[in-house]
Amino acid sequence: MSTAYEPNRTTGNLGLRITLSNSSAPFLSYFYFHFSEIQELQKNESREFNIFVNGKLSHERFAPSYLVTNTVISTSNERASDGFIYIWLNRTRNSTKPPLLNAFEIYLQKELSQQETNQTDVNAIKNIKSVYEVDKNWQGDPCAPKAYVWEGLNCSYDTSTPRIISLDLSQNSLSGTVPEFLANLSFLRVLNLKKNNLKGPIPSALLKRTKNGLSLRNKIISITTNKKSINLTVVILLYDPSRVLEMAFSKKFLVSLLQVTLFVFPLLVQAQDSSGFISIDCGISDVSRYTDETTGITYFSDANFAETGENQGISPAYKEQNEQQLWNLRSFPEGSRNCYNLKPLATENGTRYLVRAGFLYGNYDNKRQVPKFDLYIGVELWDTVKFKDSTTAMYKEITYVPSSDHIFICLVNTGNGIPFISLLELRPLQDDIYVSKPGTSLELYDHYDFCPATDEVMRYKDDIYSRVWSPIDWEPVITASSSSISNNHFQIPFTVMKTAYTTNKTTPYMNIYWTQLNSTATYFLYMHFGELEKLQANQSREFNIFINGDLWYGPYVPTYLSVYTIYTGANESGIITDSDGKLEIWLNSTEDSTLPPLINALEMYVLREFSQQTTSQTDAKAISDVKLVYGLKRNWQGDPCAPETYLWDGLDCSYNANSPHRIVSLNLSSSGLKGGIAPSIANLKMLNILDLSNNNLTGTIPEFLAQLSSLRVLIDTSPSSTPCTSGSCGKKKTNFVVPLVASLGGVLFLILTLLAVLWALNRKKQQKTKDSRVDTVNVESNEEYFPSFVSKKQEFTHPEIQRITNNFERVLGEGGFGKVYHGYLNGIQLKLLLRVHHKNLTPLIGYCNEASNIALVYEYMAMGNLRSHLSGSSKNILSWEDRLRIAIDTAQGLEYLHNGCKPPIVHRDVKSTNILLNERLQGKLGDFGLSKFFPSEGGNYISTGATATPAGITTSIAGTPGYIDPEYYISSWLNEKSDVYSFGVVLLEIITARPVLAKTQQNNHIIEWVSSMLAKGDIKNILDPRLEGGFNINSAWKLIEISMACVSRTSTNRPTMNRALIELTECLGTELTGKDGHSVAECSKDSVGMVADNLLSLTPRAR
């Protein structure tokens, strides 16, 4: 509101034109105009205007107030004749100033006609899911929309809200008893639980709703034998029908059997009681649980929450002086990070929890050496656990808002002893208490209870949130004579609030202070007050609160028998200590006060900045399902991608500070996998690389993988797998490399090109026979041949090549191998069994190897090369999204050469003219005439590390001026980073559309020119002006950063192609996110233009 727009001319009016993408759909739009006069007008100046919507007066003679926000709301359900909505702010005759506008919002009314499932049914079915850990994709509303009703459910839509009428949980490996809450599905007609492992009696709540056997509203299932039908209606089929048929039943016997052998409620799915508490005594035996005599809280084993670790018990000498929850512990001698996975019942986003962890070493290992380790909550470092000695318990407590339906508590080994934990507690809090800014949490320093001398610690059940209050027995203390106090939303226990500390009547102030605090930390204070004495007419208690000498609050008068809390607000900056770490509170009576200050309770928290992004919940769920399906024994615990230091083994992720991390690479090679490919992999939408090699997978490649738009490489060398998506492949099974989403077009009539036909390159004196095979070529050297193409491909004769090219009639260009001709291939069956085969490499169709006539046959690329589309003469201007996709296509091709080929390959001539485009503008890297491969023996390997010194070989200089790696040019040392440099130059071409070498005296190389523009901060003029702003500015910055990293002069500072590919994918994601409606620049539904005598555009600026 500190800035506003007004027309340039004092006589001008201000207009807005709104475009709705669907010009025919009915709508109701709401307009919120925010005004504030930000100029102090003179006496002879005025600003007054009328507001019109589509020609109709909405507000008359509106005058903004000086430095005060005024909001005007208007609605419209009409468009102008041209389909737009026009809004005008027109100056009145009395106004000397034109209209202004500080801010403007538009909302379209959305009719929400769908009814949600009855809440009772929702609660019941969610309880079923939780209790039995149902392995189904049960998400969202159970019955609505109809197209997405939960698997196994049928619903009735005849009532005001949908009701569940059928539930099929057969063959789900259920075990246990039937829970009582099934009776809450009051409209249920069919419940099928057959082929499970169920025992126990039918719940009484279900029996009460029946007359004959069991009947839920209508007849459910009748059990029959092959002899006669038994007139009995039951809830479930107890056993397989085959087992039922073997028994001779009587009605009486069957009823008894059902009552004895139906299923069990699990002893423990989550250690939660009705209040939502999770209470875990770590290290007790797997099936143990007990109820604490003092609090009445039931504590459960941690067996269902942690996958690793060892149960231990403290030395008996320490048990008597400590509570039972600290007698046992779980230690983690293996792995660097071990995690607990807590799944609270309240899974709504924004739910706040109190999380408490307890630790007591107690010399459990008889070493008398206390460890030190890190404690994480989610992906954030909560604190470092350090012990004073073997006998002192340590507690950590924090308020936390999870971003998903689970909370990870992780212990990290820092090399200072084995991590362990004794106690874990989780308590749901009211959402409006202990609030801090998003991305932060409050870690407890302490809860203080001002009370008489006592050994009693106030906690649950006195405190409904199970806070633990430390007694402060300062004197004098006053105590309430009443048995109750009016509470507030902090719900401070009466047993805490009924006493208060005050000073002597002759001392009109109170001083509370801490020393040796962290001087760099920020603290939040919560002071709880309540007057406990009924004051006389001549008495008063009033005081000011000072913190470190500054007035914090006041004057304040406590209310009789009513709790009032003064605290640091969520939007406040918090409290810091002085330079020596001292924090001092003064409660000073005012001059009118006859009584000294008092305080009943005090809490202090430390603000924790939690800025780390977590893994996308879709990705996290998918990869966890993969772990479950294959029974992987890897130490996959906690968040899959974060912190990056503890990235799950076999994963690679893309990292963005402003959005969740995405899994882009999954390596499950040599993992002993069996069966088919896990369907949950289809949910890894950003997956680029999937490696399933050296496993025992069976079946076909599932079609759902083809729907992963980012997946480029699927590697599976399982002997029992076959690269087919249907049964048409027959029984033949082969080892294979499958590039997904690759298309070769028709086989019988395929338009091809002879990309790089070599003539007279190697005129051999010895005439080869027509049937000479390509594997007679010397594969030890690739100075003249590219060994990766030595394969069982289609072999052409020289006359066939002449016929295909119509005697070399049409020349397309010239590459590193020689001239390139256009041709047609007709009626020749193609054998596509090549070793180097990737959708972003120009597909090799065949070869000719006859003495002096040597040729390679490639697929024709209809749209030519990339450079032709970037040149100023091209009429086809590539969009920003097209450019990003072509960059990704090229990066994928290079990444495959570097990492997917054995031995690895360096292209050596990456440039825009060697990037070819098919009819769909899909980029394919071509012209391998200068490529080099690295022998698999002798230690020359291509590095895949992000910063490691790349391996390479010494070779003669080759390539195209402007694209050649300067380090390679100077030293003749060739490695994968040489391709990265050339690729970076291509990226700069894509960004700028400028030639690599310009005919200018200064900054003639594209890198020098871009560097000079960046030094001025002039990004706008770096980008191809023909784009006309059609890009996301953040995406543009990102691509420039990637390209400049690739063209670093030293190879060690350049990213690998794998890392560059990940960054480019993230860059495209930023661009597409903007197009999905999350960017000011573009909106898929509406676009807004501002008019002030001339039409202006609203465009975003870099923040």
pLDDT tens track for 132-182: 888 788 999 999 988 899 998 988 887 778 999 888 888 888 887 777 777
Q: How confident is the model at residue 934 (pLDDT cuts 50, 70, 90)?
A: low
Whether a cis peptide bond, with omega within 30° of 0, leads into 903 is yes
Q: How confident is the model at residue 837 (pLDDT cuts 50, 70, 90)?
A: low
Give me 1096's structure tokens: 């202006």
Percent of the chain with pLDDT over 70: 77
CATH topology of domain 278-429: Jelly Rolls (2.60.120)
Overall average pLDDT of the 934-941 stretch? 44
For residue 1081, the 8-state DSSP code is S
Overall average pLDDT of the 35-43 stretch? 90
Q: How confident is the model at residue 358 (pLDDT cuts 50, 70, 90)?
A: very high
Domains 14-108 and 444-609 fall in the same CATH topology: yes
Q: Secondary structure of 134-193 in the HEC alphabet?
A: CCCCCCCCCCCCHHHCCCCEEEECCCCCCEEEEEECCCCCCEECCCHHHHHCCCCCEEEC
Overall average pLDDT of the 271-280 stretch? 76
**Model's pTM, two decimal places?**
0.50
pLDDT at residue 794, as a whole number = 65
Where is average pLDDT lowest: 494-503, 641-650, 722-731?
722-731
Q: Is 20 helix (H, G, I), strand (E, B) or coil?
A: strand
Q: Exposed/middle/buried for 479, CB within 10 Å: 0-12, 13-18, 19+? A: exposed
Where is average pLDDT lowest: 272-281, 447-456, 600-609?
272-281
CATH topology of domain 749-859: Phosphorylase Kinase; domain 1 (3.30.200)
pLDDT at residue 653, as a whole number = 94
- Name, of 531-545, 723-737, 944-958, 1013-1027, the range with top average pLDDT: 531-545
Rounded to whole angstroms, how far apart are CA atoms 914 and 932?
16
Q: How confident is the model at residue 82 (pLDDT cuts 50, 70, 90)?
A: low
Rounded to whole angstroms, how far apart are CA atoms 688 and 972?
33
Q: Over the chain, what is the mean pLDDT? A: 78
Overall average pLDDT of the 788-798 stretch? 54
Helix then strand count (H, E) for the chain reads: 14, 63
**Which residues touch 35 (CB under 8 Å, ≥6 apart)?**
4, 62, 64, 69, 70, 71, 72, 100, 101, 102
pLDDT at residue 903, as a whole number = 78
Q: How confident is the model at residue 87 (pLDDT cuts 50, 70, 90)?
A: confident
pLDDT digits (tens, 9 = 90+) for 1019-1067: 778 999 998 888 888 889 899 999 999 999 889 899 999 999 999 988 8
Domain ranges of the chain: 14-108, 119-261, 278-429, 444-609, 617-738, 749-859, 866-1078
830 or 1031: whose pLDDT is higher?
1031
> Of all helices (H) and strands (E), which one includes residue 208?
none
Give me 241's structure tokens: 């029908």
979 or 675: whose pLDDT is higher?
979
pLDDT at residue 1083, as a whole number = 28
Q: Is 347 helix (H, G, I), strand (E, B) or coil?
A: coil
Overall average pLDDT of the 411-423 stretch? 97
**Which residues touch 252 (CB under 8 Å, ≥6 apart)?**
none
Overall average pLDDT of the 781-799 stretch? 47
**pLDDT of residue 236 exceeding 70:** no
Rounded to whole angstroms, how far apart are CA atoms 122 and 346?
13
Q: Are 856 and 817 in contact (CB under 8 A)?
A: yes
935 or 664: whose pLDDT is higher?
664
Q: How confident is the model at residue 9 (pLDDT cuts 50, 70, 90)?
A: low
Rounded to whole angstroms, how far apart are CA atoms 385 and 381?
11
Q: How confident is the model at residue 230 (pLDDT cuts 50, 70, 90)?
A: very low
Q: Minimal CA–CA distance to 614: which of 561, 653, 572?
A: 653
Reported as half-sphere exposure (CB side, CA atoms, 13 A), residue 60 has a value of 2
- Name, of 230-244, 290-304, 534-548, 843-857, the range with top average pLDDT: 534-548
Q: What is the CA radius of gyration of the chain?
A: 37
Q: How confident is the model at residue 846 (pLDDT cuts 50, 70, 90)?
A: confident
**At the top level of CATH, which class does the domain 119-261 belong to?**
alpha beta
420-421 and 328-331 as β-strands: parallel, antiparallel, unpaired? antiparallel
Q: Secondary structure of 691-752 in the HEC alphabet?
A: ECCCCEECEECCHHHHHCCCCCEEEECCCCEECCCCHHHCCCCCCEEECCCCCCCCCCEEEE
Q: End-to-end distance of the chain based on CA atoms, in angstroms?
A: 17
pLDDT at residue 240, as a whole number = 30
CA 982, 984, 987, 988 torsion: positive or negative?
negative
CA 407, 413, 414, 420 torsion: positive or negative?
positive
- CATH code assigned to 866-1078: 1.10.510.10
pLDDT at residue 115, as a whole number = 87
pLDDT digits (tens, 9 = 90+) for 19-31: 766 655 566 788 8
Task: Please identify every residue annotated as catalytic.
Answer: 909
Rounded to whole angstroms, how far apart are CA atoms 817 and 250?
88
Q: How confident is the model at residue 610 (pLDDT cuts 50, 70, 90)?
A: very high
Q: Secondary structure of 177-204 in the HEC alphabet?
A: CCCHHHHHCCCCCEEECCCCEECECCCH
Q: Are 614 and 445 in contact (CB under 8 A)?
A: no
- Name, of 55-69, 88-102, 298-312, 998-1012, the range with top average pLDDT: 298-312
Rounded to whole angstroms, how far apart are CA atoms 354 and 738?
49
1073 or 983: whose pLDDT is higher?
983
Give me 548's structure tokens: 């470190």
Reported as half-sphere exposure (CB side, CA atoms, 13 A), residue 632 has a value of 22
Which CATH number among 1.10.10, 2.60.120, 2.60.40, 3.40.1360 corresponds to the domain 444-609? 2.60.120
The distance of Cα 152 from the centroid of its chain, to the nearest Å, equals 29
The distance of Cα 211 from the centroid of its chain, to the nearest Å, equals 52
pLDDT at residue 840, as a whole number = 87
- Name, of 235-239, 375-379, 792-796, 1094-1098, the range with top average pLDDT: 375-379
Overall average pLDDT of the 269-284 stretch? 76
Q: How confident is the model at residue 993 (pLDDT cuts 50, 70, 90)?
A: very high
State residue 971 phi and psi, 5-degree precision.
-105, -10
For residue 969, the 8-state DSSP code is H
Query: Where do the H-state alpha helices sit in 408-473?
Result: none
851 or 312: whose pLDDT is higher?
312
**pLDDT of residue 909 exceeding 60:** yes
Residues 75/80/85/87 CA torsion (nearest 10 deg): -80
**Which residues touch 256 (CB under 8 Å, ≥6 apart)?**
none
Residues 1011/1014/1019/1022 CA torsion (nearest 10 deg): -20
Where is average pLDDT lowest: 557-566, 759-768, 906-915?
759-768
Residue 467's alpha-carbon distances to 270, 353, 444, 660, in angstroms, are 21, 12, 10, 33
Q: Which residues pair with 84 in a beta bridge?
A: 19
Where is average pLDDT lowest: 528-542, 630-644, 932-946?
932-946
Q: Is 549 helix (H, G, I), strand (E, B) or coil?
A: coil
Rounded to whole angstroms, how far apart are CA atoms 1016 and 34?
36
74 or 1083: whose pLDDT is higher?
74
* CATH 3.10.100.10 is right for the domain spanning 617-738: no
**pLDDT of residue 622 exceeding 70:** yes
Q: Minimal CA–CA distance to 757: which of 804, 705, 717, 692?
A: 804
Overall average pLDDT of the 465-480 stretch? 94
963 or 215: whose pLDDT is higher?
963
Q: Which residues pair with 381 in a beta bridge?
A: 376
**pLDDT of residue 861 exceeding 60:** yes
pLDDT digits (tens, 9 = 90+) for 477-491: 999 999 899 999 999
- CATH code assigned to 14-108: 2.60.120.260
**pLDDT of residue 694 exceeding 80:** yes
Total residue length of the chain: 1103
pLDDT at residue 782, as a whole number = 32
Residues 517/519/520/521 CA torsion (nearest 10 deg): 40
577 or 853: whose pLDDT is higher?
577
994-1014 as b/e: b if 16+ CB within 10 A = bbbeeeeeeeebbbebbeebe
664 or 823: whose pLDDT is higher?
664
Q: Exposed/middle/buried for 527, CB within 10 Å: 0-12, 13-18, 19+? A: buried
